[in-house]
Amino acid sequence: MKLPPELAYMKDSTRLLNSNNPNGLLVQHDNITDVGVHIGGYQPQAVGYLAFTAMVATGDQFDCTPRTLVPLATVLPQ
């Protein structure tokens, strides 16, 4: 996943949420922003989410014009 420059990933904040982990399971490494995270196998129509926390830069670090910040993620079959 690639975050916009105005966002910084918060270390140890990634959680996997799915039917087996409805309250979230802490992901034991912070690979979400570089090599990615393997979330296991899923049947068709099954759902899994990765949630994480990011900090937004302060106004002195970028101009404060209105904008939409969109993280970019890629999902690949194994």
Domain ranges of the chain: 1-78
Share of the chain above pLDDT 70, in %: 96
Amino acid at 64: C
Residue 17 pLDDT more than 90? yes
User: Nearest CA to 26 among 41, 13, 10, 42?
Assistant: 13
The residue type of 8 is: A
Most confident range (mean pLDDT) of 20-24, 61-65, 72-76 is: 20-24
Which pLDDT band, with edges at 50, 70 and 90, does 78 fall under? low
pTM of structure: 0.74
What band does 14 get if pLDDT is binned at 50, 70 and 90? very high
**Which pair of tokens denotes residue 76?**
């690949």
